[in-house]
Structure 1
Amino acid sequence: MAPLLSIFLLAAVSCSAAAASPDFLQACKASRFQDSCENRLSNSNPPLYPNASASEIILSIFTASLRDLVTARSAAQSILDVSAGNPNRTTAARNCLELLPFSTRRLTAASSGDLISPDARIWAGAALLYQYDCWSALKYVNDTAQVSDAMAFLDELANRTGDGLSMLASLHRYGPDTSLWAPPQTERDGYWDPPAEMPLIDSSGGVPAGLPTNTTVCKEGGCEFSTVQAAVDAAPANITAGRFVIRIKAGVYEEIVRVPFEKTNLVFVGDGMGRTVITGNLSADEVGVTTYITATVAVTGDGFMARDLTFRNTAGPDAHQAVAFRSDSDLSVLDTVEFAGHQDTLYAHSLRQYYKSCIIAGTVDFIFGNSAAVFDDCLILVVPHLIWDHKKGDTATVTAHGRTDPAQPTGFVFRNCKLNGSDEFWDIYKKAPALHRVYLGRPWKQYSRTVFVGCYLEEFLRPEGWSPWSGDFALATLFYGEFESAGPGANATARVPWSTQIPPEHIGVYSLENFIQGNSWIPAVDCSR
């Protein structure tokens, strides 16, 4: 065993193992990996006493993960310190140093509150995502023993956090009696969470019109700020009551904007889609730039809202991954916002997000991430991809959801949306319809989940509806569903066998209340506006 890995594992596992007890080890029946869970739980530090409660077991696991996150951050810093001549490895280490504190904050929040609350599961699921993303970033620069050791430690950390998350799922489903616990299931296994009797409760919420402005950004002068980032930097931190509204007047703002974790409850209000435009052109084709970094606008402060503006990435159709907007903001609302790009336009990365009356344009996987996101009354717009090849044609995929663990309560829900193409797309499509292949989605990760409810689908959608990622990867574990699709692209009988027509009695699972608890945080607005 490599010396550095030995140090890491000693930090993670106590040498003074508690005696194996069937009482607390019953909790491992919730894990997908029961043997390794029992080993970790038997060697917990401090040891668990034999009759520990379900909550105490889960908190013990999360406490160990929080302790090991400190070690993981130190490992990432050590990689950064010796990687000055390697821009890709430097970027991966910096990504870890940004993501791992997010994991700490979300896992701390999950551990500090009511474990029965939906919040605990969404926060713990996000904590697991950030650990996975750090591991994944290092995977592409794994050319030293130091990186390899750090990945092994992160893998163990993620497995432990996943055990705790699976136990949370069992706690929510079965209650505190661990003898009833079982590994997490999804709709693909016939389990619909919450149960079928939960009603479908809709909302007319969004970003309220007429919010009082706190500060203004404009291009022509006469405002407090000339750039959006300067206004964000000057905004107060950690707002817990009310909102701080940044009015962004019409104009094209060529800048990269970052809303950090401590800038909570910020609101961007523009003068309209296409009139107020924040634009950048970063792409993953550049040395030392990852998809995560490419976002023109990236938000991590909770409670973020935006309306009446455009987020754009102009890297172009040949630039591969180029994000216009990335959100890690829990309880975020985007209302009447345009997201313009090509590949990977909208990175709905984590936590709970709501999109109302938006336009989302792109080519490949242009709505992706591992959030729990609901899209209401949105226009999903396919645009031309690469230079049109009349012999080979082209392929477009709308979504690529990235759930890595079935206990993560995440997925994409599209309700009353319309799938259409831009004028340029239609011009190309009509020349050779059979050569242009458009799909609702493909499984980026093992437990990808995406559903379309009451959506209108144009004729260019392939009859099979959904596309594999690579071979049979994830086809037995994903959940892709439709309910009452309409339009010429709605063809239930021709869909791939690994997709589902959602039974009416289960459609309430995808309401705002049930899926993202939106009834408690999405503001009500005037439906007539």
Structure 2
Amino acid sequence: MTSSFHFLFCFFIGAAAYHQTAIQEACKATRWPESCQLSLSSGLVPADPSPFQILRSALTLSSKNLGTTKFMLRAILHYAGSNHNLTTTAKLCLQTLGNSAYRLRSAEEVLPRNRIKDARAWTSAALSYQFNCLSGLKKVNDTQMVGKTMLFMNNTLMTSTSNALSMMMSYEDFGNRSRWWRTPRTEREGFWESVGGGSGSGHEPGVPTGLKANVTVCKGGGCKYSTVQRAVNAAPDNLGGGRRFFILIKEGVYEETVRVPLAKRNVVFVGEGMGKTVITGSLNVGQLGMTTYDTATVGVVGDGFMARDLTIQNTAGPDAQQAVAFRSDSDLSVVENCELIGNQDTVYAHSLRQLYKSCIIKGNVDFIFGNSAAVFHNCTILVRPRQLDPEKGENNVVAAHGRTDPAQTTGFVFHECVVNGTEDYMQLFRKNPSVHRTFLGRPWKEFSRSVFVRCKLEALVSPLGWMPWDGDFALKTLYFGEFGNSGLGSNMSGRVMWSSQIPLDHVTTYSLQNFIQGDDWR
């Protein structure tokens, strides 16, 4: 009996030690290894776990912590009473975290099927939604209940999601060889993502041609629908199997706010041409209770959204601050041959994988922004005036990317685009180019990533190229890269020291196929 007991005791001690060692080895791939080990040692990880099982447990833990956060937010909403700002923020947080939960569940479902690219994209979005909720709560943090919720989100929820995302990054590179797993690195540290992960089919996403309209929208009668929103509402929920709901929007000006919710998948807008089919609005943050997210004239969440041959604009004007024309949270979305017009914050490429092809995008301050993985191919990007008085100067910025974690798969890629000014802006620029300055981008968040590849950068682009956000914030962690650009604004000799020339060997990292898995879209 003594000998058997001693054997069993040693066996269980050894198994427990292996269990802890396996967790410790997997957690070294994260930014917070100590909290990772502590949180995963509470019974979530199975006995004798493989690194993959630890990764799945980390993702499950993130979902569990998300559920706790939603419970805390519902309590805030219950006790908010007549506090309008707190009520609005809590409701928006619950909606945002609902999207986060959906993306985490989706990631958990596809991981066993070896769809690691999808899992990373969706977990990146889930973390982004959590960050957005926390940012909103900071503005209404005047109660102990809100403070506790923020503390839990920052120290527990977002840390656990980041840990799972970091493990995914290492798993994609090294599989179950967890001894090689490492903390996430970026291009600034000499790391580039692996290439050639797509199907190699040469397929390029685009809006299908020759589709028969499911419904038609027109002005003045003759169609079943007179507004775009009613046509969207008519789309079946969760449309899949390669099917799309095709909405033909006839020529006309549609003054409305359009929302394509999560359940409306594979919706396609097709107009009759830029400047002919126009969806227009003027919402802006100067209006009571309005957030930047809510200002969008067209806001899309349902996956697989497509749009072609139309104009979407926000006419709030340059003095209205944030006023979004188009916002997208749609994974595998395509906007092709469209005109997107605004001033500050024209295009909110909020999350997930997006493609903009042959579009015209007009604005002035951070007018392409968000935390998506977005490719802008063959687009014309035009700066509009902010100051009608030519004696006054301004700084205009094309891109403000918002990556908050080095393991997120997000970034903006501008490929074969033109960066120029509208004719009225260029008249101001020519009169006094020293005070009318335009920059390619600035770092909205700590790990901001934007690259310009084989673009034509016209004379309005500052020789510095890139602009700081606030002092030295993010200057050591961002990645702003250029390769093979042309035009008077492409000279790299005067660029800021914290931008980069993309090495030739790594340019393909930012291809449509590698950066957003364009080969595999269907």
Please report the TM-score for the alignment, with normalisation by the length of structure 2: 0.93
One-letter identity of the residue aligned with 1:66: S
How well do the aligned residues superpose, as a CA RMSD in angstroms? 2.0
Contact 1:23 1:50 (C-alpha < 8 Å) held by counterparts: no
Counterpart of 1:11? none
Runs of 4+ in 1 over 4 A off after TM superposition: 17-20, 195-205
Comparing 222-231 with 88-97, which one deviates more in the overlay? 88-97
Contact 2:374 2:412 (C-alpha < 8 Å) held by counterparts: yes
CA distance 1:164–1:199, shift in 2 (3 Å): closer
Shift, 1:29, TM fit: 0.6
CA distance 1:31–1:357, shift in 2 (3 Å): same
Comparing 83-92 with 241-250, which one deviates more in the overlay? 83-92
Shift, 1:85, TM fit: 3.0
Comparing 192-201 with 307-316, which one deviates more in the overlay? 192-201
SS at match of 2:368: strand
CA deviation map 1:52-103 (0-9, x unaligned): 1112111112212212222222222232333353333222212211110111
One-letter identity of the residue aligned with 2:344: Q
Q: In the aligned structure 2, how far is the partner of 1:356 from the partner of 1:100? A: 30
One-letter identity of the residue aligned with 2:482: E
Residue 438 of structure 1 pairs with residue 438 of structure 2: yes
CA distance 1:388–1:218, shift in 2 (3 Å): same
CA deviation map 1:111-166 (0-9, x unaligned): 11135521011011111111111111111111111111111111110100100000
| Pairing 1:154-165 to 2, within 5 Å after superposition | 154-155=153-154, 156-165=156-165
SS at match of 2:443: coil
Counterpart of 2:145? 146
Counterpart of 2:499? 499
Counterpart of 1:12? none
Counterpart of 1:285? 286
One-letter identity of the residue aligned with 1:180: W
Residue 334 of structure 1 pairs with residue 331 of structure 2: no
Residue 56 of structure 1 pairs with residue 53 of structure 2: yes
Counterpart of 2:12? none
Counterpart of 2:4? none
Counterpart of 2:8? none
CA distance 1:314–1:81, shift in 2 (3 Å): farther
Counterpart of 1:459? 459
CA distance 1:240–1:195, shift in 2 (3 Å): closer
- Asked which structure has the greater CA Rg, the reply is 2
Residue 29 of structure 1 pairs with residue 41 of structure 2: no
Contact 1:313 1:341 (C-alpha < 8 Å) held by counterparts: yes
Comparing 422-431 with 397-406, which one deviates more in the overlay? 422-431
Contact 1:196 1:505 (C-alpha < 8 Å) held by counterparts: no
Q: In the aligned structure 2, how far is the partner of 1:495 from the partner of 1:198? A: 34
Shift, 1:20, TM fit: 7.3
Comparing 424-433 with 34-43, which one deviates more in the overlay? 34-43
Which of the numbers 89, 93, 97 marks the counterpart of 1:92?
A: 89
Contact 1:18 1:48 (C-alpha < 8 Å) held by counterparts: no
Comparing 513-522 with 413-422, which one deviates more in the overlay? 513-522
SS at match of 1:442: strand
Counterpart of 2:7? none
Which of the numbers 71, 74, 85 marks the counterpart of 1:74?
A: 71
What fraction of aligned residue pairs are identical, expressed as a percent? 53
CA distance 1:389–1:201, shift in 2 (3 Å): farther
Contact 1:240 1:264 (C-alpha < 8 Å) held by counterparts: yes
Residue 229 of structure 1 pairs with residue 229 of structure 2: yes
Gaps of 5+ in 1: 1-16, 523-529
Q: In the aligned structure 2, how far is the partner of 1:359 from the partner of 1:87? A: 38
Shift, 1:372, TM fit: 0.6
Counterpart of 2:3? none
Gaps of 5+ in 2: 1-15
| Pairing 1:107-118 to 2, within 5 Å after superposition | 107-114=104-111, 115=114, 117-118=116-117
Counterpart of 2:373? 372
Counterpart of 1:14? none
Shift, 1:209, TM fit: 2.6
One-letter identity of the residue aligned with 1:226: S
| Pairing 1:56-455 to 2, within 5 Å after superposition | 56-114=53-111, 115=114, 117-155=116-154, 156-195=156-195, 205-241=205-241, 242-388=243-389, 390-391=391-392, 393-455=393-455
Q: In the aligned structure 1, how far is the partner of 2:199 from the partner of 2:473? A: 34
Contact 2:356 2:377 (C-alpha < 8 Å) held by counterparts: yes
Q: In the aligned structure 1, how far is the partner of 2:115 from the partner of 2:334? A: 25
| Pairing 1:6-21 to 2, within 5 Å after superposition | 21=20
Q: In the aligned structure 2, how far is the partner of 1:367 from the partner of 1:200? A: 30
SS at match of 1:414: strand
Residue 488 of structure 1 pairs with residue 488 of structure 2: yes
Comparing 144-153 with 407-416, which one deviates more in the overlay? 144-153
Contact 1:116 1:171 (C-alpha < 8 Å) held by counterparts: no
